[in-house]
Amino acid sequence: MTEQLPLDPAKLPQHVAIIMDGNGRWAKRRGMPRTFGHKAGVEALREIIKMSDELGIRALTVYAFSTENWKRSAEEVGALMGLLLEYFTKELEELNRKNVCIRILGDIDGMPRGTERQQAALHKAIERTQTNTGLILNIALNYGGQQEIVRAAKVLAKRAADGSLDPESITQETFAAELYTHDEPEVDLIIRTSGELRLSNFLLWQCAYAEFYITDTLWPDFDRNAYREALEAFSNRNRRFGGA
């Protein structure tokens, strides 16, 4: 194996967001049920979290379950919810030891009936790790970017209605302060696996100036090398933010 040069820390993104897509196709190619792909996807996620932590990346946001994913079969949704519970039960202590701060982007309490144990596990993970100062791990779950924006708009509208907020004083900053990611850096790099060229309602606000990295690799195959390639590609981008 050729020796790899270390990644230049100064050129790493502060905030990486990942649309972990392609689990179903990965399983299908192996003649297996979709659930098999989701299980493999959890393993891939574990490594990517570890590597993000090792590299000192400030925030990692992963799309685990969208507000639209409830449309899937009861069997698949049940399997995903089972994996979620298993993940949080098994990994919480280790993530906590690593000083990882777990946050959930999305409507936990709006999850459907039958997911009470998941909801409790999520609240527990947030509480247990909220004062940690290491990697911020955002898990987007029952998450929709449009819903997040509407939620922020409602908070501000209520304040305006009760007289505690002057609508004219609303700025990008005060609006962003009501999003789930309120105090985090904007997304620098967004990765989507499995080759799909769309956002699927992910981080619509936060990705305003994010660099896109799309790979055909299916999520369960997205390993340390694949992540490294994405980070290297990012380090070679010329970001202009509208400037000349």
Which residues of the chain form contacts with Mg ion (CB under 5 A)? 21
Listed in sequence order, the residues at least 6 apart from 199 whose beta carbon sits closer than 8 Å to its beta carbon are 19, 145, 207
Closest contact distance (angstroms) between CB of 116 and ligand IPE is 20
Contact pattern for ligand IPE over residues 187 through 216, marking x by CB under 6 A: -------x-x-x-x----------------
Min separation Cβ 172 and ligand IPE, Å: 26
Q: Distance between CA 160 and CA 33 in Å, rounded?
A: 50
Q: Which of 93, 60, 66, 101 is nearest to 80 (CA)?
A: 66
Q: Residue 36 or 57: which CB sits closer to Mg ion?
A: 36
Residues belonging to the chain: 244
Q: Choosing among ligand IPE, Mg ion, none, which partner's interface includes residue 20 (Cβ < 5 to 8 Å by kind)?
A: ligand IPE
And the tokens for 177? Answer: 């302060």
Closest distance to ligand IPE from the beta carbon of 53 (Å): 21
| 8 A C-beta contact, residue 103 and residue 138 | yes
Task: Tell me which residues in 16-75 interact with ligand IPE (CB under 6 A).
Answer: 19-25, 63-66, 69
Q: How far apart are CA 117 and CA 124, in angstroms?
A: 11
Nearer to Mg ion, 21 or 148 (CB): 21
Q: Which residue is nearest to ligand IPE (CB)?
A: 24
In angstroms, rounded to a whole number, what is the distance separating the alpha carbons of residues 44 and 57? 17
**Catalytic residue status for 69:** yes
* Phi, psi (deg, nearest 5) at residue 5: -70, 145
The one of Mg ion, ligand IPE, none whose footprint includes residue 80, by CB under 5 to 8 A per kind, is: ligand IPE
Least Cβ distance, residue 23 to Mg ion (angstroms)? 7
With tokens 């994405």, the residue in question is: 230
Beta carbon of residue 36, minimum distance to ligand IPE (angstroms, whole number)? 11
CA distance 205 to 192: 17
Q: Which is nearer to ligand IPE, 13 or 24 (CB)?
A: 24
CA gap 108, 138 in Å, rounded? 13
Q: Is 162 a catalytic residue?
A: no
87 binds ligand IPE (CB under 6 A): no
Q: How many CB atoms lie within 10 A of CB 22?
A: 24
Site residues for ligand IPE per CB under 6 A: 19-25, 63-66, 69, 80, 194, 196, 198, 200
Q: Which residues form the catalytic set?
A: 21, 69
